[in-house]
Amino acid sequence: MFVDLGAEQLVGAEKEGRRIAVEIKGFTGASEMTELERAVGQFTVYRLVLEERAPDYILYLAVPEDVVKDTFEQPLGQLLVKNAYLRVFGFNPDEETITRWID
């Protein structure tokens, strides 16, 4: 099993960097709910494996900014972040920039 990307996230000038792994999901399917279910399931499996095999990594789910707004800012998305221990960041696919972190 492989996650999509490994990186170093700088948390701030006064903190050390954190090692992260990123699972990137585009939510391009016909059903946003199906895409959400698939992404949360995959994230959960990867998170559990990383906790066992590489506990120094923190897993993030990367989704386009519009998915953050349409899904993770809504009550269901907030519930999943809170109770499924999701760490999410939004990105702008056109500019290839991270727009926000949700922990």
Give mean pLDDT in consecutive 10-residue pieces for the chain, a chain of 103 residues: 55 56 88 92 91 88 94 93 90 90 85
pLDDT the model gives residue 76: 93
pLDDT the model gives residue 14: 37
Q: Look at the domain 5-102 and name its fold.
A: Trna Endonuclease; Chain: A, domain 1 (3.40.1350)
pLDDT in tens, 10-26: 443 333 577 888 888 99
pLDDT the model gives residue 18: 79
Burial of 50 (0-12, 13-18, 19+ CB in 10 A): middle
Burial of 52 (0-12, 13-18, 19+ CB in 10 A): exposed
